[in-house]
Structure 1
Amino acid sequence: MTEEKKSLNFIEQIIEEDLQSTHSRESLKFRFPPEPNGYLHIGHASSICLNFGLGERYGAPVNLRFDDTNPIKEEQEYVDAIKNDVLWLGFKWEKECYASDYFQQLYDWAVELIKNGDAYVDSQTSEEIAEQKGTPTEAGKESPYRNRAVAENLELFEKMKNGDTPERGHVLRAKIDMAAKNMLMRDPVMYRCLHKNHHRTKDNWKIYPMYDWAHGESDFIESISHSFCTLEFLPHRELYNWFLEKVAQRGELKPKQREFARRNLSHTVVSKRKLMQLVEQGVVNSWDDPRMPTISGLRRRGYTPNSIRKFAESIGVGKRENIIDASHLEFCAREDLNKTAPRVMGVLNPVKLVITNYDEDKEEFLETENNPEDETAGTRNIPFSRELYIEREDFKESANRKFFRLTLGKEVRLKSAYIIKGEDVVKDAEGNITEIHCTYDPKSKSGSGSEESLRKVKGTLHWVSVKHALKAEIRLYDRLFTVENPDGDKEKDFMQFVNPNSLETITGFVEPSLKSAAVQDKFQFQRIGYFCVDKESKDGEPIFNRTVTLRDSWAKKK
Structure 2
Amino acid sequence: MADEIKNTENEELMQGNFIHSFIDEDIAEGGRFEGKKVHTRFPPEPNGYLHIGHAKAICINFATAEKYNGMCNLRMDDTNPTKEDVEYVDAIKEDIKWLGFDWGDRFYYASQYFEQMYDYAVELIKKGLAYVCELNAEQVKEYRGDTQTPAKSPYRDRPIEESLDLFERMKNGEFEDGKMTLRAKIDLASGNFNMRDPVIYRINRLKHHRTGDKWCIYPMYDFAHPIEDAIEGITHSLCSLEFEAHRPLYDWVINNISAPAKPRQIEFARLGINNTVMSKRKLRELVEKSYVSGWDDPRMPTLCGLRRRGYTPKSIRSFIDQIGVSKVNSIVEYSFLEHCLRDDLNDSADRVMCVLHPIKLVITNYPEDKTEEFEIENNPNHPENGTRTVTFSRECWIEAADFMEEPIKKYQRLYPGNEVRLKSTYIVRCTGCKKDEDGNVVEVYAEYDPQTRGGNTPDGRKVRGTIHWVDCNNCAEAEVRLYDNLFTVPDPDVGDRNFLDYLNPNSLEVLNNCKVEKSLETAEAPKSFQFMRLGYFCVDNKDSRPQHLVFNRSVNLKDGFKKKG
Structure 2 length normalisation: TM-score? 0.94
Aligned length: 547
CA contact (8 A) 2:276 2:490 kept: yes
Residue 245 of structure 2 corresponds to which residue in structure 1? 235
Residue 434 of structure 2 corresponds to which residue in structure 1? 426
Say whether residues 1:186 and 2:196 are aligned partners. yes
Q: What secondary structure does 2:158 align onto?
A: coil
**Alignment-mate amino acid for residue 469 of structure 2:** W
Identity rate of aligned residues, in percent?
A: 53
Residue 5 of structure 2 corresponds to which residue in structure 1? none
Residue 118 of structure 1 corresponds to which residue in structure 2? 129
1:344-493 residue pairs with structure 2 within 5 A?
344-399=352-407, 402-446=410-454, 452=458, 457-488=463-494, 490-493=495-498
Q: Structure 1 residues 453 and 309 mapped into 2: Cα distance closer, same or farther (>3 Å)?
A: farther
* Partner residue of 1:50 out of 40, 43, 60: 60
- Return the offset for 1:404: 2.4
* Partner residue of 2:517 out of 511, 528, 533: 511
Residue 28 of structure 1 corresponds to which residue in structure 2? 38
* Partner residue of 1:551 out of 533, 555, 558: 558
* Partner residue of 2:534 out of 519, 528, 531: 528
Residue 165 of structure 2 corresponds to which residue in structure 1? 155
Q: What secondary structure does 2:473 align onto?
A: helix
Residue 87 of structure 2 corresponds to which residue in structure 1? 77
CA contact (8 A) 1:365 1:381 kept: yes
Residue 135 of structure 1 corresponds to which residue in structure 2? 146
* Partner residue of 2:277 out of 251, 269, 276: 269
Q: Structure 1 residues 455 and 88 mapped into 2: Cα distance closer, same or farther (>3 Å)?
A: farther
CA contact (8 A) 2:339 2:561 kept: no
Structure-2 separation of matches of 1:223 and 1:479: 43
Residues 49-58 or 398-407, more deviating = 398-407
Structure-1 separation of matches of 2:350 and 2:24: 43
Residue 3 of structure 2 corresponds to which residue in structure 1? none
Structure-2 separation of matches of 1:238 and 1:134: 19
Residue 501 of structure 1 corresponds to which residue in structure 2? 506
Say whether residues 1:222 and 2:232 are aligned partners. yes
Residues 109-118 or 11-20, more deviating = 11-20
Structure-1 separation of matches of 2:408 and 2:194: 69
Structure-2 separation of matches of 1:169 and 1:190: 14
Residue 287 of structure 2 corresponds to which residue in structure 1? 279
Structure-2 separation of matches of 1:93 and 1:116: 37
* Partner residue of 1:208 out of 197, 211, 218: 218
Q: Deviation per CA, 1:32-52, whole angstroms, max 9, x where unpaired?
A: 111111100000001111111
- Return the offset for 1:451: 6.3
Q: Deviation per CA, 1:441-467, whole angstroms, max 9, x where unpaired?
A: 1121118xx863986522211101112
Say whether residues 1:167 and 2:177 are aligned partners. yes
Structure-2 separation of matches of 1:381 and 1:401: 36
Residues 124-133 or 273-282, more deviating = 124-133
**Alignment-mate amino acid for residue 538 of structure 2:** C
- Return the offset for 1:263: 2.1
Q: What secondary structure does 1:485 align onto?
A: coil
**Alignment-mate amino acid for residue 502 of structure 1:** S
Q: What secondary structure does 1:396 align onto?
A: coil
CA contact (8 A) 2:377 2:383 kept: no
- Return the offset for 1:136: 2.8
Q: Deviation per CA, 1:106-143, whole angstroms, max 9, x where unpaired?
A: 101111111111111112211111211112332112x2
CA contact (8 A) 2:74 2:103 kept: yes
Say whether residues 1:38 and 2:48 are aligned partners. yes
Structure-1 separation of matches of 2:232 and 2:459: 68
Q: What secondary structure does 1:366 align onto?
A: strand
Structure-2 separation of matches of 1:389 and 1:498: 35
Residues 392-401 or 542-551, more deviating = 392-401
**Alignment-mate amino acid for residue 26 of structure 1:** K
**Alignment-mate amino acid for residue 322 of structure 1:** S
Q: What secondary structure does 2:326 align onto?
A: coil
CA RMSD of aligned residues (A): 1.8
CA contact (8 A) 1:29 1:224 kept: yes
- Return the offset for 1:553: 6.0
Q: Structure 1 residues 301 and 453 mapped into 2: Cα distance closer, same or farther (>3 Å)?
A: farther
Q: Structure 1 residues 220 and 107 mapped into 2: Cα distance closer, same or farther (>3 Å)?
A: same
Q: Deviation per CA, 1:362-389, whole angstroms, max 9, x where unpaired?
A: 2222111111112221011112111111
CA contact (8 A) 1:26 1:60 kept: no
Residues 145-154 or 74-83, more deviating = 145-154
Structure-2 separation of matches of 1:378 and 1:285: 38
Q: What secondary structure does 1:371 align onto?
A: coil
Q: What secondary structure does 1:407 align onto?
A: coil
- Return the offset for 1:400: 5.8
Say whether residues 1:314 and 2:334 are aligned partners. no
Structure-1 separation of matches of 2:158 and 2:411: 85
Say whether residues 1:10 and 2:18 are aligned partners. yes
Q: Structure 1 residues 453 and 332 mapped into 2: Cα distance closer, same or farther (>3 Å)?
A: farther
Q: Deviation per CA, 1:401-456, whole angstroms, max 9, x where unpaired?
A: 63222222121111121111111111122222111100001121118xx8639865
Unaligned ranges ≥5, structure 1: none
* Partner residue of 1:97 out of 98, 108, 114: 108
Q: What secondary structure does 2:369 align onto?
A: coil
Structure-1 separation of matches of 2:461 and 2:284: 57
CA contact (8 A) 1:444 1:455 kept: no
Structure-1 separation of matches of 2:154 and 2:33: 44
Q: Deviation per CA, 1:219-240, whole angstroms, max 9, x where unpaired?
A: 1111111111111111101111
Q: Structure 1 residues 259 and 239 mapped into 2: Cα distance closer, same or farther (>3 Å)?
A: same
**Alignment-mate amino acid for residue 124 of structure 1:** L
Structure-2 separation of matches of 1:87 and 1:453: 56
CA contact (8 A) 1:30 1:224 kept: yes
Q: Deviation per CA, 1:170-215, whole angstroms, max 9, x where unpaired?
A: 1111111111111111111111111121111111111110000000
**Alignment-mate amino acid for residue 496 of structure 1:** D
Q: What secondary structure does 1:27 align onto?
A: coil
Q: Deviation per CA, 1:303-357, whole angstroms, max 9, x where unpaired?
A: 0000000000010111111110100000001110111111111000111110000
Structure 1 length normalisation: TM-score? 0.95
